[in-house]
Amino acid sequence: MNTKTLLVAAIVCGLAACSQSSAPPPPAAKAAVAAPAKPVTPAPAVGIDLAAIDHSVKPGDDFFAYANGAWVKSATIPPDRSSTGTFFEVFEKAEKQTSDLIQNAGASHPAAGSDARRIADYYAAYMDEAAIDKAGLDPLKPGLDAIAAIKTRADLARVLGSSLRADVDPINATNFHTENLFGLFVTKGLQDASTNMAYLLQGGLAMPSRDYYLSTDKAMAEFRDKYKAYVGALLKQAQIADADAKAAKILALEKKIAQAQESLVDSEDVHQADNVWSTADFAKKAPGLDWNAYFKAAGLDKVEKIDAWQAKAIAGLSALTARESLEAWKDLLVFHTLDSAAPLLPRAFADLHFGFYDQTLQGTPQQRERWKRAVEATNTDLGDAVGQMYVAKYFPASSKEQVQALVKNLVAAFDKGIDNLAWMAPQTKAKAKEKLVTLHVGVGYPETWRNYSALEIKPDDALGNHLRAVAFEYAHQKAKIGTPIDRGEWWMTPQTVNAVNLPLQNALNFPAAILQPPFFDPKSDAAANYGAIGAIIGHEISHSFDNTGADFDAQGRMMNWWTPADAAHFTAATDALAKQFEGYEALPGLNVNGKQTLGEDIADVSGLTAAYAAYHLSLDGKPAPTIDGLNGDQRFFLAFGQDWRSKMRDAALRQRLATDVHAPAQFRAQTVRNIDAWYAAFDVTPGEKLYLAPEQRVKIW
């Protein structure tokens, strides 16, 4: 849930059931849980997994373990996954729902050219391993031939330009770790409130981030050795001569690319990203690459201005194209071509790819069943087509209305919170309220859908379908450059289990797939819904008013609307939060990087604060019922703690710490220690591990 235009697609995953048990807490919990009030009937479902609670743990010592400890002791990570938890439970539901739609898309023999036909043919092609084996490397021949034909630096620029793609992850676009040397992202200009602009971002690496190439950590060094072995094995599988020697050279060049790249923390600083260059400027400000040839091959030669998001990195990468030998670049490009296509090449290639990226880097022992991979790929390349079918079947209007009512209460809570901020100047409050009024909250699905009529999908060409889909997406994004802003544009499909804040649009997306149990259940008590999905929605809203949101006004222009005193207070409060998270040890000797995760940690505190206020607004002055021995506040905080129920393999956790702006889930659950009401709800007292004195609790909104 990132704050750039752009969050975590790999959210914490999980596997758990939302229990409706009516058994009261055992005696061991009574010291930690307030005595229940008299039962109120009739009462809605509790909305909490009561069986997951570990009553041997004091909430004030470890709230994650208290809320989830019994589940953690018995939960098993699926062999084809690197983690499990609440998000994975919801992901599995959405996967099953979309798989039913995709697998049955062809049942009624849809007409040629229809979206249903495209979905059916795409899925069928992915599942046809015999056709994939027969095709071999043929679908890659045009690209491999172009690489082989490189004789000059201009040729290199043309090949690099023709491979520019807009497959930037919209959730984490500033950390664009594509194998293409650069990535294209298209959205509103930082200073222009009306027009879409092209952004060029750093790329060039196959491993997850620059840390994998540069870190002196022993585990990272071991990953580099295994990566080199993988590169060599993939080249050998393609019958390329001198594979091992070329693998060493490829790793050496990628290390230089990593050295040229900017860090994740620097990439997230929007002030460093405001570098609007004319296409002619690139030759002067980032010399080395033949930019004229590059932009012409990329179809961007008529574009007048481009934002160089990581200007230093773009200059460094450009210099490398002139400094390193053409043969080194050709070897790298051949490997990247094979590597990016490997999942859709004959099984030997796909198995090598899985062995390194999933088994080695994330500790996942078993590859996912092919039908699951086919569903994921169809969702990726035909997302809106599947999304229309998804919302028609799985997201009723009643659910949308209920979530919109919840959002209305959250917005009201933020509005009241702004009024009550003693530290914020009156002029800043006025700007915040203006932004709140213009906030566009998308619930469930977009107002307009993507038109796929120009995308050719064949029932026997899996890799070709994907390559055409990637080119189709690039053409779609490129066509937006210079056009008016669509504030209602969605950056996620309805079947995505995630949510996002879009500062440049002053908008939020909450896809239908995340709006289901245990995050949201129309039959559950309000406390559970506000503690679960309410805190997530509050998290996203808060990004509009945090240190990133402060850089964008109500129209989405980059214009800081805080006074210096407001900014100073915010910095002091958030520095304390960074220190909190830096105290959490995720792996032996490896702590959370509080600066890297700060934006998301701020949003967790702010979102939880607002969700709690909104929950009490929803009660309309009436007392909350006691359900299954838990009062309203206890259910609210437990729902939040169970949002972050997760179990992750060590290798995947290490990757998350190096590449993600979100702290590991178990530490996000401890956010409650900053909320005064949590202390009263669970009788948390001084001396308990999570206890913070009132003046030490981070309060933002």
Calpha distance 572→560 (Å, rounded): 18
pLDDT computed for residue 179 by the predictor: 78
Question: Between the CA atoms of 440, 443, 449 and 450, what dihedral angle is there, to the nearest 10 degrees?
Answer: 80
31 and 25 Cβ atoms separated by less than 8 Å: no
* Torsion (CA) 616, 619, 621, 626 in degrees, nearest 10: -90
Residue 396: both structure tokens together: 């009723």
| pLDDT value for 30 | 27
User: 556-582: per-residue pLDDT in tens?
Assistant: 888 889 999 998 888 888 899 999 999
- DSSP string covering 150-217: --SHHHHHHHHHHT-B----TTSGGG---SSSEEEEEEE-SS-SSBEEEEEEE---SSSSTHHHH---
Contact 268, 151 (CB under 8 A): no
Q: Give yes or no for a contact between 540 and 547, defined as CB atoms under 8 angstroms apart.
A: no
- Under DSSP, is residue 453 helix (H, G, I), strand (E, B) or coil? coil
- The three-class DSSP label of residue 455 is coil
How far apart are the C-alpha atoms of 120 and 141, rounded to whole Å?
A: 26
Verify cis geometry, omega within 30 degrees of 0, for the bond prior to 42. Answer: yes
Distance CA(184)–CA(168), nearest Å, equals: 7
Class of domain 114-384: mainly alpha
Query: Closest by alpha carbon to 312, among 260, 270, 251, 353?
Result: 260
Nearest to 122 by CA among 299, 492, 376: 376
Domain definitions of the chain by residue range: 44-96+395-447+488-696, 114-384
- For 648, phi then psi, to 5°, come to -135, 145
Cα–Cα distance between 233 and 90 in angstroms, integer? 37
Would you call 630 helix, strand, or coil by DSSP? strand
The pLDDT of residue 292 is 98
In 3D space, the residue among 624, 637, 629, 626 whose CA is nearest the CA of residue 682 turns out to be 637
* Exposure b/e, 83-120, CB count within 10 A at least 16 = b: bbbbbbbbbbebbebbbebbbebbeeebeeeebbbbbb
Radius of gyration of the chain (CA): 25
- Identify the residue whose tokens are 């440049």: 504
Q: What is the pLDDT of residue 175?
A: 37
CATH of 44-96+395-447+488-696, one of 3.40.250.10, 3.20.20.80, 3.40.50.850, 3.40.390.10: 3.40.390.10
Residues lower than pLDDT 50 in the chain: 1-42, 170-177
The answer to whether 21 and 628 are in contact (CB under 8 A) is: yes
Q: What is the rounded distance in angstroms from the CA atom of residue 474 to the CA atom of residue 520?
A: 35
The label of the residue with tokens 């996002």 reads 500
pLDDT value of residue 42: 47
User: 3-state class of 47 per DSSP?
Assistant: coil
Nearest in space to 330 (alpha carbons), one of 396, 249, 390, 399: 249
696 close to 605: Cβ distance less than 8 angstroms: no
Burial letters for 557-577: b for 16+ Cβ neighbours within 10 Å, e otherwise? bbeebbeeebeebbeebbeeb
Cα separation, 338 vs 335, whole angstroms? 5
The pLDDT tens digits for 376-428 are: 999 999 999 999 999 999 999 999 999 999 999 999 999 999 998 888 899 99
DSSP state of 623: P
Measured CA to CA, the distance from residue 375 to residue 122 in angstroms comes to 10
Would you tell me the crossing angle of helices 326-341 and 347-354 to the nearest 10 degrees? 100
114-384 matches 44-96+395-447+488-696 in CATH topology: no
Helical spans, DSSP H, in 423-513: 426-438, 462-480
Burial zone of 35 (CB within 10 Å; 0-12 exposed, 13-18 middle, 19+ buried) = exposed
Q: Residue 301 burial (CB < 10 Å; 0-12/13-18/19+)? A: middle
Supply the pTM of this predicted model. Answer: 0.84
Q: How many CB atoms lie within 10 A of CB 162?
A: 14
